[in-house]
Structure 1
Amino acid sequence: MNTSELDLRELLSFKPRGGAISFLGQRMYLTDLFSHGLQQMELCRTLGPEITQSIIVRAGFSKGWLVAERIKRQMPDAWAEARKGKLGPLLCSMYGFGEVLSSQRRDGIQATPLVETYFISLYEAEQHLRMHGLSNVPVCWEQIGFASGYVSNLEGRTVYFIEDECQAKGDSYCHLRGNYLEKWGAEITPYLPVYSGICNETVAAQLADVLRSDEALPRNMQDKINLSLKLTSIEDGYPVSNSYAMRSLLEMAINVAKVPTSVLITGESGVGKEKLVQYIHKNSPRSDKPLVAINCGALNETLLENELFGHVRGAFTGADCSKSGLIEAADGGTLFLDEVAELSPATQVKLLRVLQEKEVRRLGDTETNHVDVRIISATNKSLEAAVEAGEFRQDLYYRLKVIELNIPPLRERTEDILPLSRYFLMKFNQELGKNHTGFHYKTADLLLSHNWPGNVRELVNAIERAVVLSAGPQIMPEDLPHEIRDTLCLPSVAGDIRALHEVEKDYILAVLEKLDNNKTQAAEKLGMSLATLYRKLKEYGALQIAICSWLYSIAAILPGV
């Protein structure tokens, strides 16, 4: 997932009955401002404010550094975009520090700060105002520590933040500035005792063992917190659509809906052609009239003509009474012809007359009936190719295709995959009486990596299956169909272009994870020797972690160990 696709529901996990909460795979616990403030007050009373501030800043530095390292390892696509300055503010908001008003990232070469951020409602400022009133000095200690640790990891060199404006002092906002340690002038001097020598290198060394043990041991899959996401849609009557292609298409559909022009909707099977027809009808002046749909490929020629045009009594054996067809039933409204390419030549001629003359003749009748009907047709085939092959009338083709709307396949609009997945998750929760609240981030990666040959229809079926089979509130990778589980989460080209050796590393590690760390199979699949694979793993620093994981798995199945 890249930065724009990150969602709190994929990163935060929680068991509704309590027990364990984790964020980015890191164990968390809930607290409140009052309890946190009391703890800080006791520390100040016992150790003094200077030592307390240093402890909180240093702990925040380690926390920010560790969060950055976890994202670097678990979400390389998001990390590749981190230098643009969007990921840090998003993480601060997700952690509940406060609301980011603006954040600007520079190159750090000039006299201006490397990072400059304006916050409101930072929890430390609010905590101080509630418990102590106005302060004489800035009080957002954990925030400057967290920002310093995060950016230090990102830059690979020590960065310190200071706070020169704070809402706890009565300022309008909290203003934080960060810069490389060597770039700070005298302004950083009062903060040096607070940071007390903590730097990128010392924290990296201190947390190395934590990270190794974290990766070596099997992860405890937690359940996700219920965020009470309401089942809504961005567009009235249409599921969420974040991609530029779909938003442009829906904007065009709105304009088309206002007039009774014939529309041809094209696209692969499962992209949602009928849903778009419903959207057009709902937003048209005909919305209070019927929308009548028929699949032209589901009936033979005789039955289809009878359904479309109707018949009079005695038109054929068994026609004991007259019956109006679907065209008349749609009078004043919209007729949707799905799989229109399957129409027979004879039916095509009759449909052309309806379009040209605005009248319909029932089977066996000599009279015609005037109809005011808008025709929207759809196909997953090329009507132009059918015309060239002599299988479809050219004049009817042009009549149907006054306006053509092509729905792109889901694989070409990956921005829609996760929003649609969340939409359908909540939909099936309501329909099936379930309480699944989101996707594990690895599940989200699988959804993004799958090619979706069945498009939205396949996605709907996959989410429904997961909702039915999932044992806990969080949708895990094993809840998905095997064809999606077997998808390798390949690095995307979103954001900054990455070096080839980084892409190779991510791919090799993904193959190993997919094959349960079986190096012999991985080497065979990758087309390299086992010795080459071991050499690369040693370069990545992953060999020791893999050995620890293997030893742990052996110990877990031996009795008494």
Structure 2
Amino acid sequence: MYGFRGVSMKAEELDLRRILSFRPKGGTIQFMGHRAMIVDALAMGLLRKELIENLGNFAARTILTRFGYAHGWSTADNLCIEYPDLKDDPKTGPTLHMLQGILNVATNDVFHEPSFRISIRSQESYEAEQHLLHVGIPSDPVCWTLTGYISGYCSRMQGEEVYCIEHQCCAMGDAICRYEVRTREDWDEEIEPHLPFFRADTIDSVLHEVTAKLKKTERDIKVRRSLMDGDLGCCGLAAKSKTMRKTIDLARRIAKVESSVVITGESGVGKERIARIIHSESSRALRPFVAINCSAVTETLLESEFFGHARGAFTGANRDRIGLFEAANGGTLFLDEVGEISPGMQAKLLRVLQEKEIRRVGENSSRPVDVRIISATNRDLGNEVSAGRFREDLYYRLCIFELVVPALRERQEDILLLARCFLDKSTQKIGKEIIGFQPEVTDRLIQYEWPGNVRQLENTIEHAVVLCQGKRIGLDDLPKAVRSAQGGGSVANAIRKIDDLEREQILAAIKLLDGDKTEAAKQLGISLSSLYQKLKRYQTLPV
């Protein structure tokens, strides 16, 4: 497989009817005489996504590379036992891989002089396809399982360390996936950055890291549950206020249909987070969510960002590149600040929405796309249409539903909830033990107008955590704009803030003491029975 000499039986004669056996009603399947399983490519893509999101790229790549290496080594062993006449045929490997549905090998050039080397070019790699689908466009090649598989197989066949490196990848927009295979000795220092992904000791360190992350996640979940009482919490969408609950409820109902949505609201209110709720609760939840800030990309580059480009389409286009519509195919494309798009780009966007196909810059052929569009803007698009700055026909294509996200000052009930959330997030990030806010700080947070909304509140709390030298954040720790602002809270707000402060201090004390309620009651100066009564009232214990 993948290039060995001397044959008596040709690899071209292999097909699934010859090497695959099974019971017609299921139970067991044999591939080359050994038990095999049919695994859905989408499921493998979701596993990759979970590994990357929960463990990070390095750990995910290590696990998948080692998995591929073991698969390749085992396949080589099976081949030597079941089909010894084929083990030296350079076409056996590519043939078997194509029969397994892994990829389509275009070329497989094998060289033995001056040393063993293979150059492979392939298309339709399931790994590239699934990474693009679930994770997005990568900056480096991502066929990790495949490179591990080739390395494991060739190492078994050659009787020495052989490694495969991917130099081009379809997931990055390249026309092909290109791999190079050499022995450990011939790679020399070039292989060093890749070796950790093949080594068992790396897996051990990864597992230790995973265990630590799982424990930390479990602690975070407990803290958030006690603080949020079932709200959306630290995603920045805490929703005790009626206005925000209504917005989120409407977003969840809209998620069940395929209609386009425009989300409006001031800058920093959490429009993208609402868009992610719509996507995650829609039928497209397992497909990509791709976001772009239209105001952050120049008009000359926006077309390429949207639709991709062919190699040589313009100066600097040294390879094929897919656009965001293709990257989001089957999923959701979020267009932030859609009101900033130029009239020319508006016309091209309208055509895509009407025809459901795109054309890469520099290409003549069109490609079908299936994308749900969610847009966001802090402008009034109706007024923009009246002023002639936004196409009316595009507006009606985009705005089948409109969701208005209220400003933070319009949902004061959520301010302290969010502040507590951001405090936990920042203390964990920076590594400080801060249990809460001084009373005058909670007053100021409630009274402040928050022109920058939730984003400004999050930045304010992080600023305060960095400056804080005690156990509670004081006024001097806040940014000057917040610290010196004047505001008028109502009497009702003042009464509610006292209750919130008591709740916050009790929960923070229990957290700081690792759940020891007896010691918490002692430190707070209240009886243990009083503490339990308050916790029941906060709904953190069963009544």
In the superposition, the TM-score normalised over structure 1's length comes to 0.46
The higher radius of gyration belongs to 1
In the superposition, the TM-score normalised over structure 2's length comes to 0.48
